Amino acid sequence: MQTHNASLDPNWVTSGLLDFEFKKYILLDYMQKCQAAFHATKLYPPLGDLCLHYKNMIDLQNGLEQLEHHFPKTLTGMDAQKIEMVYQEFPLKNQEIETIQEIIAFALPLVKKAIADGKDIYEFVEQHIAIEPIGLMPLYKNEGYLLIHTSTAADVFVYKYHHSYLVLQNERFRQLQMEYVTHTTLSFTNTLENIKLDLIRQDPSLPQPATFDCVCGIGVPLEETLVPIAQRAALQHLSHLD
């Protein structure tokens, strides 16, 4: 089974057949695939998708509550003494809405627990990541290289990074964009310092690039786990250097 292929329609609660048992089957199948991915220490995309599904369900739940509060009423008569119209609310608790609420009530605890499991794995991996500069550190550190690898293998994956700020609603947020450059192998002759020198020769536009050794002390999948966590760890590291 391809555990990293777990996917679920963002609108899975309301799209298609609106039946509790059917939705329960879909969710449990998806959750099983997510748990299998986590068991293989493959965090992404499942962890990010689970957070999105949780938010979508909370928004839907709140939307139903707002709908109930503002639900249209129908005129049923007039109170002659008070000289005012008499209205009656439409019954909101119809079968479809009850089914949606039942699905959400069942799904939220399961998704929340899976997110917590994923975050535990994330924090465990993050604790085993160390970032150190390779060679002299230039004053300009907004561009450079990350040499990502594990201590359990000789493979080194080189990424070029660009550190910048994103402005949203008058607030600045740091972001780190990464671009894959190459793959190489550590050896007695091909050290991290030599890899940096090769990168300088290949790209003269960065004659003295900020270059960081990003090593994980445990073996984990590269694309699904190590690179996303290393990217965030590098962003935090660069922010502390400012």
Per-residue pLDDT reduced to its tens digit, 21-54? 999 999 999 999 999 999 999 999 999 999 999 9
Identify the weakest region by mean pLDDT among 70-79, 146-155, 157-166, 188-197.
70-79
Instruction: Over range 172-185, report the average pLDDT.
Output: 94
Token digits of residue 185: 């192998």
Q: Which residue has the higher pLDDT, 242 or 218?
A: 218
For residue 58, give Cα distances in angstroms to 79, 108, 152, 233: 40, 8, 41, 29
Among the listed residues 238, 140, 133, 234, the one whose alpha carbon sits nearest the alpha carbon of residue 193: 133
Instruction: Over range 68-77, report the average pLDDT.
Output: 50
- Residue 70: pLDDT band (50, 70, 90) is low
pLDDT at 77 over 70: no
Q: Indicate the SS3 state at residue 65.
A: helix
Provide the CB-side half-sphere exposure for 141 (13 A, CA). Answer: 17
Instruction: Over range 43-68, report the average pLDDT.
Output: 90
Q: From CA 62, how far away is CA 183, in angstroms rounded?
A: 48
Bridge partners (DSSP) listed for residue 87 = 75
Q: Are strands 143-150 and 210-216 parallel, antiparallel or unpaired?
A: parallel
Q: What rounded mean pLDDT belongs to the chain? A: 88
Among the listed residues 98, 95, 116, the one whose alpha carbon sits nearest the alpha carbon of residue 106: 98
pLDDT at 156 over 70: yes
